[in-house]
C-alpha cells in the first residue's frame, strides 16, 4: 500500500484542545518570566477610548497603543525594535491595567508606574518626560512644552514628539493643544483626545 | 524592515500541532511537560533562529529532544508494570488514550504501542506534515528508513483498525491556528 499520498486521519485520535493550549500558554508565560526570557509582555484592556494594547519590558511599561494603530503592527514593531520574545502575559501588566481602570473611572489623576522610555530618544524624549508637569485637567501649548524641554522655538518638534508618544494616556500628550485652541494630532484620533480632556474636566 | 514575528505568533500557529505530536509520541500523561519544555527552549533560542527557517521543523526538532528527555526521566522514576506488547493487535482494556472515545481512543492507544521509530515517523510526517528528509535529519538515519518506518507504522495501525478513517487527500502541512 502506498502511504505517501494517504493521510490516515490521526488527527481524530489527537484532537485539538483549546482549553489545554490556554493552560499551557499561561504556564509558558510564567516560566518565561521566571527564567528572565520574557522580553516583552503584553495584554489588551478595554477602555472608553477603545481597546488599548499594553506592553512592558522588565524595566517597565514600554508601549500603550490604540486600536487605530493596529495592535498586530505594534507588536511586530516591538519585536523588531526590542526583541522577538514577545508573549501575551497579562500578569506583568496588572498594575498598569488597574491604574488605567482607575483613571478612566475618574478615581485616579496621575500614574505611578515604572516606565521604559527606550522607544523615544533625544529631544522627543525630553519633551515627553516633561508632560507629567501638566496637571490633570490642564492643557498646555506645543510652544510651552517645547520651552519646558529647553527649546522654546522647537514647537514643531514638540508637536511631533507628542504625536509619536509611545505611552499615550499614561504620558499625557493629550493635554498638549494648539495655542489657538485647535486640538492637534493624536495617535488615538482627535475624538479620543477630546474624550480624555472631557474626562479630566478640561475645557 | 520587518524581522521575526513575535513569539506569540509562533505559539498561536504551531502550539496545537506540537501538542498533537507530543501526545502521539509520549501519550497524554507526559505530553504537557514536553510541550512546555519545547516552547520554553524555543523561546530562549528564538532570537538566534535564522530568518526564513522552517519554524515547524525547528519546533519538532526541539520537541523530539524534549520527548527523549521526558521518556528518560519517566523511565528513571518508573515502577515496573506489566509490559505492553509491541505487536498488539487488539485494543488494550485500559487505553492510554484515556477519556477519548472508542475508535479515537483505540487509535491513540495503538499509536502508543508502536515502536519508537515508527511512532516518531508517523507523528512527524502525518501530524506535523514534515517531509521524510526533514524527519531523517531530526531522528537520524536516511529518508528511506523514515519512509519505511512510517509505512510500517501505518500498516500496523490499519491491521489493528481496518475501519479507521483513511482519506486520500492532500498531506496536511498546517493545522488551523488556535484563536
Q: Which residues of A touch B154 (CB under 8 A)?
A: 1, 3, 6, 8
Interface test with B, best of A2, A13, A28, A85 (most B CBs within 10 A): A13
A20–B19 CB contact, under 8 Å: yes
For A20, A71, A155, B8, B12, the CA distances from B178, given in Å and listed in that order, are 11, 18, 47, 12, 6
User: How far is CA B49 from each of CA A4, A173, B26, B177, rounded to the nearest angstrom?
Assistant: 30, 38, 26, 21
CATH topology of domain A22-104: Double Stranded RNA Binding Domain (3.30.160)
**Per-residue pLDDT for B78 more than 80?**
no
Nearest CA in chain A to B22: A14
Under CATH, what is the fold of the domain A122-200?
Arc Repressor Mutant, subunit A (1.10.10)
- Which 3 state secondary structure label does DSSP give B94? coil
User: SS3 for A201?
Assistant: coil
Interval A129-175: pLDDT, tens: 999 999 999 999 999 999 999 999 999 999 999 999 999 999 999 99
Q: Which residue has the higher pLDDT, A171 or B110?
A: A171
The dihedral formed by the CA atoms of A16, B105, B64 and A35, expressed in degrees to the nearest 10: 50
CB atoms within 10 A of CB B73: 12
Q: What is the rounded distance in angstroms from the CA atom of residue A169 to the CA atom of residue A165?
A: 9
Chain B residues with CB under 8 Å of A87 CB are 6-8, 11, 43
- Looking up residue B33, the CATH number of its domain turns out to be 1.20.140
CA atoms within 13 A on the CB side of A78: 32
Nearest to B127 among A3, A14, A24 (CB): A14
Indicate the range of A5-14, A161-170, B80-89 predicted with least confidence.
B80-89
Exposed/middle/buried for residue A34 (C-beta within 10 Å: 0-12, 13-18, 19+): exposed
Question: Does B154 fall in a domain?
Answer: yes
Q: What radius of gyration do chain A's Cα atoms show?
A: 21
d(CA A195, CA B52): 44
Radius of gyration of chain B from its Cα atoms, rounded to whole angstroms: 17
Residue A203 contacts B, CB cutoff 8 Å: no
Question: What pLDDT band is residue B2 in, cutting at 50, 70 and 90?
Answer: low
Confirm whether B40 is domain-assigned: yes
Give the residue among A39, A203, A177 at the shortest CA–CA distance from B43: A39
Four-CA torsion B97, B103, B108, B111, nearest 10 degrees: 140
Query: Which residue in B3, B24, B40 is closest to A80 by CB distance?
Result: B3
Is the separation of the CB atoms in B112 and B40 below 8 Å? no
Lowest mean pLDDT among A6-15, A119-128, B70-79: A6-15
Cell reading at B3: 524581522
Could you list the residue range(s) of the whole structural domain that residue B43 is in?
Answer: 7-83+94-160
* Contact call for B111 and A8, based on CB within 8 A: no
ipTM of the complex as predicted:
0.92
A65 band by pLDDT with thresholds 50, 70 and 90: very high
Question: Nearest CA to CA, how far is B109 from chain A (Å)?
Answer: 9
B55 within a domain of the structure (yes/no): yes
Q: pLDDT tens across A140-150, in order? A: 999 999 999 99
pLDDT reported for residue B166: 47
Determine whether the interchain pair B39/A88 forms a contact, defined as Cβ–Cβ distance below 8 Å. Answer: no
The phi, psi pair for A13, rounded to 5°, reads: -80, -20
Q: What is the set of active-site residues of A? A: 173
Q: Is residue B126 part of a domain?
A: yes
Residue A15's pLDDT is what? Answer: 81
pLDDT band at B1 (very low <50, low <70, confident <90, very high): low
Angle at B14 between CA B103 and CA B95, to 5 degrees: 25
Q: Which residue ranges make up each domain of chain A?
A: 22-104, 122-200
Nearest alpha-carbon partner for A112 in A132, A92, A130, A87: A132
How far is it, in rounded angstroms, from Cα A184 to Cα B70? Answer: 59
What is the C-alpha separation between A184 and A154, in angstroms, rounded? Answer: 16
Give the count of domains, chain B.
Answer: 1
Give the global pTM.
0.85
For residue B88 the three cell numbers come to: 498488539
Cβ <8 Å between B170 and A7? yes
- Phi, psi torsion values for B6, nearest 5 degrees: -55, 145
B167 within some domain: no
By CB neighbour count within 10 A (0-12 exposed, 13-18 middle, 19+ buried), where does A14 fall? buried
Of the pLDDT bands very low, low, confident and very high (cuts 50, 70, 90), residue B173 is very low
Q: When comparing pLDDT for B171 and A194, which is higher?
A: A194
CB nearest to A12's CB, from B11, B15, B104: B104
Amino acid at each position: 500500500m502506498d502511504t505517501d499520498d494517504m493521510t490516515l486521519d490521526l488527527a481524530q485520535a489527537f484532537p485539538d484542545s483549546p482549553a489545554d493550549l490556554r493552560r499551557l500558554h499561561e504556564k509558558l508565560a510564567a516560566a518565561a518570566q521566571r527564567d528572565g526570557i520574557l522580553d516583552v509582555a503584553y495584554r489588551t484592556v478595554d477602555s472608553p477610548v477603545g481597546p488599548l494594547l499594553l506592553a512592558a519590558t522588565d524595566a517597565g511599561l514600554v508601549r500603550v497603543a490604540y486600536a487605530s494603530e493596529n495592535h498586530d503592527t505594534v507588536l511586530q514593531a516591538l519585536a523588531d525594535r526590542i526583541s522577538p520574545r514577545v508573549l501575551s502575559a497579562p500578569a506583568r501588566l496588572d498594575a498598569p491595567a488597574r491604574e488605567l481602570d482607575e483613571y478612566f473611572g475618574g478615581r485616579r489623576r496621575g500614574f505611578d508606574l515604572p516606565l521604559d522610555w527606550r522607544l523615544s530618544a533625544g529631544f522627543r524624549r525630553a519633551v515627553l518626560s516633561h508632560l507629567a508637569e501638566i496637571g490633570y485637567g490642564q492643557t498646555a501649548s506645543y510652544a510651552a512644552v517645547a520651552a519646558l524641554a529647553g527649546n522654546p522655538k522647537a514647537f514643531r518638534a514638540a508637536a511631533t514628539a507628542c504625536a509619536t508618544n509611545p505611552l499615550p494616556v499614561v504620558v499625557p500628550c493629550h493635554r498638549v493643544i494648539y495655542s489657538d485652541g485647535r486640538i492637534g494630532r493624536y495617535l488615538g484620533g482627535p475624538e479620543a483626545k477630546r474624550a480624555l480632556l472631557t474626562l479630566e474636566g478640561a475645557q | 524592515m520587518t524581522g521575526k514575528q513575535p513569539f506569540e505568533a509562533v505559539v498561536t500557529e504551531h502550539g496545537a500541532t506540537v501538542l498533537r505530536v507530543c501526545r502521539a509520541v509520549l501519550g497524554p500523561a507526559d505530553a504537557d511537560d514536553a510541550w512546555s519544555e519545547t516552547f520554553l527552549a524555543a523561546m530562549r533560542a528564538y532570537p538566534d533562529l535564522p530568518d526564513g527557517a522552517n519554524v515547524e521543523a525547528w519546533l519538532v526538532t526541539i520537541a523530539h529532544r524534549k520527548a527523549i528527555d521526558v521518556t528518560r526521566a519517566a523511565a528513571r522514576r518508573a515502577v515496573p508494570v506489566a509490559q505492553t506488547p509491541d505487536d498488539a493487535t487488539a485494543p488494550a482494556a485500559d487505553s492510554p488514550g484515556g477519556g477519548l472515545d472508542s475508535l479515537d481512543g483505540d487509535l491513540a492507544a495503538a499509536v502508543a504501542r508502536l515502536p519508537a521509530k515508527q511512532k516518531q515517523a508517523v507523528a512527524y510526517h502525518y501530524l506535523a506534515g514534515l517531509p521524510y528528509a526533514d524527519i531523517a535529519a531530526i531522528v537520524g538515519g536516511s529518508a528511506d528508513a523514515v519512509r519505511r518506518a512510517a509505512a510500517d507504522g501505518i500498516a500496523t495501525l490499519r491491521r489493528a483498525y481496518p475501519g479507521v478513517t483513511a482519506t486520500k487527500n492532500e498531506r496536511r502541512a498546517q493545522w488551523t491556528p488556535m484563536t
